[in-house]
Amino acid sequence: DSGVTQTPKHLITATGQRVTLRCSPRSGDLSVYWYQQSLDQGLQFLIQYYNGEERAKGNILERFSAQQFPDLHSELNLSSLELGDSALYFCASSGTSEDTQYFGPGTRLTVL
Amino acid sequence: GQNIDQPTEMTATEGAIVQINCTYQTSGFNGLFWYQQHAGEAPTFLSYNVLDGLEEKGRFSSFLSRSKGYSYLLLKELQMKDSASYLCAVLNDYKLSFGAGTTVTVRA
């Protein structure tokens, strides 16, 4: 158990819908990262927040957005969902941007 | 851009040693990580190298040569539970870029 929690574990929804994925970092960690892992793409970095502020952006679509709240938990919002958005979404946390990232169990999103 | 290459698959026998190579070409370098991932599960941290040389951690060792853009992960005394995907990842400018992963299958 990494200490990073994610909810929900599974999510099934329809195209065009909007969903919110939630992540709580390890106690004391200020950095939160979001990754997408699909079968054909591997693990892709989406976005990083550090202590409430966006720190780095990867291959994140405009339909996706994220935020980190004062209590350091983070949410990833996915809107206008497409079939290709079906993937495992992982959250990771670390103390600083150079520290080891520890991954949560992931949310499996299925878009039908 | 980031280019991280590792073999797609490797097979080895229980009790043997396997070496997974990773080569990288990245615009910057702040460290190299190895993660293990079982199918459908979260990646788990194995090792971290930021300076050249060998880091040993029980049955797992990782080596880094920054001048060659090269790392390897060495798994000794293989066990069936070591069957998994092994991901090489390079940290650069706050971003962790992952290779596609090497699937290791351990046979009895």
pLDDT in tens, chain A (112 residues): 889 999 999 999 999 999 999 999 999 999 999 999 998 778 999 999 999 999 999 989 999 999 999 999 999 999 999 999 999 999 999 987 778 999 999 999 999 9
Q: Is the pLDDT of residue B1 over 70?
A: no
For A74-110, b/e burial (b = at least 16 CB within 10 A) is: bbbebeebeeebbbbbbbbbbeebeebbbbbbbbbbe
- What confidence tier does B5 reach under pLDDT thresholds 50, 70, 90? very high
Across chain B, mean pLDDT equals 95
Q: Which of A42, A58, A88 is nearest residue B95 as measured by Cβ atoms?
A: A58
Q: Which of A33, A100, A105 faces B33 most closely, judged by CB atoms?
A: A100
Contacts of A62 (CB under 8 A, 6+ apart): none
The sign of the CA dihedral A68, B96, A95, A25 is positive
> Beta strand pairing status for A42-50 and A31-38?
antiparallel
DSSP A69: -
Interface size between A and B, measured as CB pairs under 8 A: 48
From residue A4, give the alpha-carbon distance in Å to each of A24, A34, A97, B1, B32.
6, 12, 16, 29, 22
Residue B67 vs residues B29, B53, B64: alpha-carbon distances, Å: 11, 12, 9
Give strand pairing partners of A91. Answer: A34
The per-residue pLDDT for B54 is 97
The answer to whether the CB atoms of A101 and B94 lie below 8 A apart is no
| A6: closest chain B residue by CA | B42
